[in-house]
Amino acid sequence: MVDNRTPPASDDVLNPKTATEKLAKNSKNEQDELSEEDQQLVSELEMIVERLKESSIEIHRSALENLVSVIRTTTSSMTSVPKPLKYLKPHYGTLVDIFEQWSDAQNKRALASILSLLGMVYDKENNRECLKYRLLAGYENETISEWGHEYVRHLAMEIGLEYSANVEDDEQSVEYLVPVALEAVAFFFKHNAEVDAIDLLEELNLHEAVVNYVTKDTFER
């Protein structure tokens, strides 16, 4: 059922396999092919990363807000690899290191949310970093939806994979997945994606929870 939530394969679809392949294929000569506008974006992202390396918490906060703004201007649909995500590839390891070094809780949550999004594309080792950093960023008050539908679909896929990988050892060891999974389920029902919601509930053996989300408007669907 996890595979059913994976977007159809194509060169432009944003899922971990096709996105990584496309980024790898295009990276070699990409710098020479950048338009002036793209080069300005690359420079802006580089400047933001440099600001995140500074020692000031306030500078970090401002830089994070700027980075979120830049990403959101091009990730409304999330059906293809947005340019900011593409150009952040060389900085992914640096951003992970910065996250580990910071102590300010608010800034760490904000950066974790960005790393969760980047983890969709740059998690080459299948460490489920989209899920890892979403758990660190938090998922209360609908923050799970901040990167859009395709992001939540990918997150749900990683939740299912994490559950399957660990449930045989100890069912209690996967209980931490239930709250974030239910947030995803609520999002799916709210956005007319009941099939995705039910698939996730079935994967986590939470079938009975569906009654908490079905309404007279969604029952027939």
First to last CA, the chain: 18
Question: Which residue in 41, 68, 64 sits closest to 51, CA to CA?
Answer: 64
Q: Are 119 and 130 in contact (CB under 8 A)?
A: yes
Question: Which residue in 195, 193, 186 sits closest to 213, CA to CA?
Answer: 186
CA torsion sign, 100 to 158 to 82 to 68?
Answer: negative
Average model confidence (pLDDT) for the chain? 83
190 backbone φψ class: left, alpha, beta (φ>0; ψ -120 to 50): alpha
Which pLDDT does position 25 carry in this prediction?
A: 53
Which pLDDT does position 220 carry in this prediction?
A: 55
Instruction: Say how far apart CA 75 and CA 68 lie, in whole Å.
Output: 10
Instruction: Say how far apart CA 201 and CA 182 lie, in whole Å.
Output: 8
**pLDDT tens-place string over residues 190-220:** 888 999 999 999 999 998 888 888 665 655 5
**pLDDT tens-place string over residues 38-71:** 999 999 999 999 999 999 999 999 999 999 999 9
Which pLDDT does position 161 carry in this prediction?
A: 94
Which pLDDT does position 145 carry in this prediction?
A: 87
In this prediction the pTM is: 0.81
Instruction: Say how far apart CA 96 and CA 101 lie, in whole Å.
Output: 9
Which pLDDT does position 213 carry in this prediction?
A: 80
Q: Is the pLDDT of residue 6 over 50?
A: no
| Rounded to 5°, angle at Cα 135 from 132 and 136 | 90
Residue 24 is which amino acid? A
Question: What is the pLDDT averaged over residues 80-109?
Answer: 93
**pLDDT tens-place string over residues 144-154:** 888 989 999 99
* pLDDT band (50, 70, 90) for residue 115: very high
Which pLDDT does position 201 carry in this prediction?
A: 94
